[in-house]
């Protein structure tokens, strides 16, 4: 009996030892699963952080985009702020460049056009300022860098070279401005801004037709 008991005990011991590697494998598998879950958790945290940055770019009441650093950029040209800001920039440029042209050109047709630009765009700019005040939109008070450089360049030119530079600038600016006002009049999000755009658009289109006519004669 003692010999039989010892044999049974030895057999059980062997079976117990044989089962150990399996347990070790399961433990290793559980560890691997744990690491995988940790990695997935970290990935989810990263995605969450990205989402926070993206969602932190918000629009303020005027339609301007404020990013996560607090910087503000002009919104879409269909928003009141975006449209008014771009319209103000264009109006100032056309007025200031036309002032230079009115004083420098010797071409009567170009001088007359420049004087009309000053009158028409000054009137439109005053209406725009009133509208901007009503909508609490802050407009730019000076030309952008590109048009400042253009005005400086033109002030040093004379004769046919000056005329050509001014006329080409007016064609390019009015094409851009007509498109801006047309877009606003059709797709604007504010009734008053849309009405202003629709009212002013025919005058701008007339300007573009006039200056293209002058440009055609210069070729």
CATH number at residue 105: 1.20.1260.10
Q: Is residue 138 part of a domain?
A: yes
- Bridge partners of residue 58, in order along the sequence: 66
Minimal CA–CA distance to 174: which of 78, 115, 104, 95?
95
Task: Let me know whether 36 and 89 are in one domain.
Answer: no
98 part of a folded domain = yes
Domain that residue 138 falls in: 78-218
**Rg value, the chain, Cα:** 36
pLDDT at 215: 96
Does residue 60 belong to any structural domain of this protein?
no
Task: Give the pLDDT of residue 78.
Answer: 77
Name the maximum alpha-carbon separation found in the chain: 133
Same domain, 35 and 84: no
Asked if residue 20 belongs to a domain, the reply is yes
| Residues whose CB is less than 8 angstroms from the CB of residue 133 and which lie 6 or more positions away in sequence, other chains included | none
Q: Which of 215, 128, 130 minimizes the C-alpha distance to 174? A: 215
42 and 85, same domain (yes or no): no
Does residue 70 belong to any structural domain of this protein?
no
Q: Which of 34-48, 54-68, 189-203 has the highest mean pLDDT?
A: 189-203
- DSSP output for 54-74: HHT-EE-TTS-EE-TTS-EE-
Domain count, the chain: 2
Q: 207 and 174 in contact (C-beta within 8 Å)?
A: yes
Pairwise CA distance, residues 103 & 70, whole Å: 43
More confident residue, 195 or 8: 195
Residue 215 and residue 104: Cα distance in Å, rounded? 17
Tens-digit pLDDT profile for residues 162-174: 999 999 999 999 9
Are 111 and 200 contained in the same domain?
yes
Residue 27 lies in a domain: yes
Q: Are residues 46 and 99 in the same domain?
A: no
Instruction: Tell me whether residue 6 is in a domain.
Output: yes
Residue 201 inside a domain? The answer is yes
142 touches 92 (CB < 8 A): yes
């Amino acid at each position: 009996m003692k010999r039989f008991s010892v044999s049974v005990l030895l057999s059980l011991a062997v079976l117990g030892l044989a089962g150990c590697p399996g347990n070790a494998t399961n433990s290793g598998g559980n560890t691997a699963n744990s690491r995988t879950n940790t990695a997935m958790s970290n990935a989810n945290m990263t995605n969450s952080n990205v989402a926070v940055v993206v969602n932190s770019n918000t629009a303020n009441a005027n339609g301007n985009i404020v990013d996560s650093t607090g910087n503000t950029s002009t919104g879409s040209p269909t928003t009141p702020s975006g449209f008014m800001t771009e319209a103000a920039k264009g109006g100032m440029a056309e007025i200031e460049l036309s002032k230079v042209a009115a004083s420098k050109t010797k071409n009567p047709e170009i001088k007359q056009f420049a004087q009309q630009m000053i009158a028409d765009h000054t009137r439109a700019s005053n209406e725009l300022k009133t509208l901007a005040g009503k909508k609490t939109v802050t407009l730019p008070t000076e030309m952008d860098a590109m048009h400042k450089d253009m005005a400086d360049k033109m002030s040093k030119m004379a004769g046919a070279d000056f005329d050509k530079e001014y006329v080409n600038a007016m064609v390019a600016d009015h094409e851009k401005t007509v498109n801006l006002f047309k877009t606003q009049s059709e797709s604007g999000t504010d009734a008053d801004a849309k009405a202003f755009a629709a009212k002013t658009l025919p005058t701008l289109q007339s300007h573009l037709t006039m200056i293209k006519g002058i440009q055609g004669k210069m070729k």
